[in-house]
Amino acid sequence: MAVAQRKVLYSAVIILGGLLISACDQAAGNRHASPPYPAATDIEITPTISPTHDERSSNQALDGTAIISTPAPLACLSQSGEMVDDSIPTEFIPRPLEFRIYLPPCYHVETEKRYPVLYLIHGQNFDQDQWDRIGADDVVDELVAAGELAPFIIVMPRDRIWHEPPEDQFGESLITELIPWVDSNYRTLPERGFRAIGGLSRGAGWAVHLGLQHWELFGAIGAHSPGLFGVDTLAIPEWLEQIPPEAMPRIFIDVGRRDYQQIQQSAEWFGTLLDERDIPHEWYSFAGRHDELYWQTHVVQYIRFYAREW
């Protein structure tokens, strides 16, 4: 299918000073108008006597009318989030499962607040610092400080075996061990609507594999330059059939026009499969190769997609 024929059912505006952005999409936002406050028509005011400072309520002006105050934003929202490296024992892979966790600004200040969680998986021959290196956490810091995104947690696990599932059981460890551990040790919102998964290259293969097979855990899936697993070509259509239409995760697919032919075919195949089933998704073909410059160029768009409904 030609790129010009693809269905692009959603779009996003990419705004971030200092980053190279491909501004080719638009996003719409809802406006919420507050109802007007009723006029105080029944208040009696004595014209010759004004209450003293001690007598007047702190939310009244000198003439006795109400002052409507808006809480000031927390100063910590303009600060950077925290990056934590950790690991947990696992029954599925030979070594402990290592991961990096990004905690958003104000996490340690608003101690009653709970957060959405985004799981981001790196590409082959890289490790858990790749998403950090291309700037995912920096983007969240800046958009949260600007008031454009609600803060959320990012979990970046390490896959070190490089085999396909089920020989590589990294995915089993993520689903049955890492997610419950994160939900138990951090203040997360554990519902699927507040949990998303995405990846780069091989990591995108994992995101599709886990996000569709375990759709009840994830509300959104991001496949960036996807290297889908060969064993999944038969499984993916079956997984899609098993997902109730109203519970279908939001899906984002993108690939560089100078990417490897196999990767382009993988992205085309997945997008066409969704087209044939009339499954809403976003599909993009951008200028670029299969490298970190390409992913860094579009990381703002990725983050906006994941956080759109948070």
For residue 64, give the DSSP letter: S
Question: What per-residue confidence (pLDDT) applies to 9?
Answer: 34
Tokens of 296: 């860094």
Question: What per-residue confidence (pLDDT) applies to 65?
Answer: 52
The DSSP H or E segment spanning 164 is none
CATH domain 77-307 topology: Rossmann fold (3.40.50)
The residues spanned by each domain of the chain are 77-307
Query: Buried b vs exposed e over 237-272: b needs ≥16 C-beta within 10 Å?
Result: eebbeeeeeeebbbbbbbbbeebeeebbebbbebbe
Cis previous bond, 226, omega within 30:
no
Q: How far apart are CA 252 and CA 270, in angstroms?
A: 11
Residue that has been written with the tokens 């551990």 in this structure: 181
Three-state DSSP class for residue 238: helix
Question: What per-residue confidence (pLDDT) applies to 11?
Answer: 36
Residues of the chain with pLDDT under 50: 1-62, 67, 69-70
Query: CA nearest 254: which of 279, 285, 298, 293?
Result: 285
Question: What per-residue confidence (pLDDT) applies to 76?
Answer: 86
Question: What per-residue confidence (pLDDT) applies to 64?
Answer: 53
Query: CA nearest 175: which of 127, 212, 132?
Result: 212
Task: Please return the burial class of 10, using the count of CB atoms within 10 Å of its CB with bins 0-12, 13-18 and 19+.
Answer: middle
Question: What per-residue confidence (pLDDT) applies to 90?
Answer: 96
Give the Å distances, CA to CA, from 49 to 40, 44, 204. Answer: 19, 12, 71
* Sign (positive or negative) of CA dihedral 90, 92, 96, 102: negative
